[in-house]
Amino acid sequence: MAFPTNSRDKSSLGTRSGSGSMTLGTSVTPGGLRAAVNDPLKKILNHPSSAPLQEREFAFTDADFERIRNLLYKNAGIVLSPSKQDMVYSRLARRLRTCGDQTFSQYLRRLEQDRSEWETFINSLTTNLTSFFREAHHFEILASQIKQIKEKRPIRIWCCASSTGEEPYSLAITACDTFSSLTPPVEIVASDIDTSVLAQAEKGIYRRDKLDRVQPTHLSRYFTSASGVDDSYAVRAELRRLINFRRINLLSPAWPVQGPFDAIFCRNVMIYFDKPTQYGVLKRFVPLLRQEGRIYAGHSESFMHAADLLRSIGRTVYVRLDSPLR
């Protein structure tokens, strides 16, 4: 059963192509981005429907948009569709107002000079849609994977695009259910590039409507009503203790994580990357994965282009080529 997504949708960053990546142009290298911006379709796609150019509070040129697309691609791997000019404007306009900048080019100069602005820039442009038990079949597969592990050792899971925390807490609930314990031998690393969603995740407080699809037994067992926050629930401290939250940019040359992992949940983030970026990330996952470990991908993500690294075992679950699993 696929639960609806319901968390912090800052609206989609791209248009999903048939290949599973979120692009609009044919090429997504920085040069490709440039070509896409020069596409004749651009004028139609970029036509601001909600905020006509002349009514905009801040000057925002095609060249500014192009620079932002390139910066996001180079620093976060995110391919921004040319049709997202309005979205970029509205997300960053708030920031310009706060910083007191008059134009986007002024803001971009600030970005060049002030490294501390980078964090807010990236946070503003990520899409963090998620929900508890999203693509629920993966949690059932994980439960059976956990049951098959007979050695007495911690079971280690990396949730590498954890957004506001619903996914790693769903993993923790699955682990607790499987071991019938609030202290299962499970360690979860939950990471994301976006520091503001990580901060929300660490708090572990969710409005009631975010928990609509959490089973009542899970709600009573793993949540308490959040004191001082209306109509909200807090994740139990035991669940939080299973999770280590940290900022990791999947594009960074060094990841502060150590393998081996039994499972890597990398769901609904690769769709924002092009194939070469996806391949580079997957290549680095392989040595971090146990021989019998699994990589869980989002339902619209396919890693078939990395067939020299991973083998599909169905339902968007992948294993190493030397895995004994079929």
Active-site residue, 326 included? no
The sign of the dihedral angle between the CA atoms of 281, 19, 308, 2 is positive
Q: Which is nearer to ligand SAM, 76 or 306 (CB)?
A: 76
Q: Which is nearer to ligand SAM, 129 or 313 (CB)?
A: 129
Q: Which is nearer to ligand SAM, 42 or 255 (CB)?
A: 255
With contacts defined by CB under 6 A, name the span among 32-40, 97-105, 121-129, 237-245 that binds ligand SAM: 121-129
d(CA 16, CA 21): 6
Of residues 64, 86, 101, 192, which has the active-site annotation?
A: 192
Cβ 315 vs Cβ 141: under 8 Å: yes
Q: Is 81 in the site for ligand SAM (CB under 6 A)?
A: no
Cβ 6 vs Cβ 133: under 8 Å: no
In DSSP notation, 32-59 reads HHHHHHT-TTHHHHT--SSS-GGG-SSB
Active-site residue, 91 included? yes
With contacts defined by CB under 6 A, name the span among 30-38, 124-132, 223-231, 315-323 that binds ligand SAM: 124-132
In DSSP notation, 91-112 reads HHHHHHHHHT-SBHHHHHHHHH
Of residues 69, 91, 267, 320, which has the active-site annotation?
A: 91
Cβ 17 vs Cβ 23: under 8 Å: yes
Cβ 91 vs Cβ 10: under 8 Å: yes
Q: Which is nearer to ligand SAM, 145 or 268 (CB)?
A: 268
From residue 239 to residue 268, the character string flagging contacts with ligand SAM as x (rule: CB under 6 A) and all else as - is ----------xxx---------------xx
Residue with tokens 């081996």: 260
Least distance from C-beta 312 to ligand SAM, angstroms? 18
Binding site for ligand SAM (CB under 6 A): 76-78, 126-130, 134, 161, 163, 167, 192-194, 197, 249-251, 267-269, 272, 298
